[in-house]
Structure 1
Amino acid sequence: MRWTHVSRFIQRRRLEESAYELARLSRTAPTVSAIAERWGFADPTHFSRVFREAYGLSPREWRIVRLDRAWPPAPQAGGHEPATRACHTSLWAPADAGASSACPSL
């Protein structure tokens, strides 16, 4: 296990949840500023800068790319659900977060 400062861990979790919310399909998607505020970022500019550092895209670009990919995918034929973000955190987490080894293979 790699040790990290508590503040970095908290910020990473807030970014993960922000990324997930930005990628959700919704008719009334909240603005990037609203998502930033909801996850504890008081300044939208700071949120955008930190998000880009973690994911390589601005929050707006992230939303566009994820919606183009229609993530999360629909359930597969045969009734199997797709991998959840809770299991495969590397799909949502910043590059340094890694994936959980307890996840089943896809």
Structure 2
Amino acid sequence: MNKILLAEDDNDMRRFLVRALENAGYQVISYDNGLEAYHRLREEPFELLLTDIVMPEMDGIELARRASDIDPDIKIMFITGFAAVALNPDSQAPKDAKILSKPFHLKDLVNEVQKMLTAA
């Protein structure tokens, strides 16, 4: 079973995402800020980091950079209403990261996650 680390500070959004991904067969560990997610990432491997960009304590871009340092093979997807921030070359977001702009349908999220995790 693929393990997903989710960092999303909006409680309702986080619950919806966890439920949708678990219903699709994924194991999801979620946190409401980037710093706690980073500490968990240091403890065990995950196949995918799914993170909001704008969060307290550590933003999603910093979390993604640190995740890539820990595990260069981890797949990263940003879920954000601020896609332009992630796309900005100055942000230093990992180059292979996927960006899913809010609002999105949960089915689209599950489809994108599945594509990322099945890609070689």
Normalising by the residue count of structure 1, what TM-score does the alignment of the two structures yield? 0.33
Normalising by the residue count of structure 2, what TM-score does the alignment of the two structures yield? 0.30
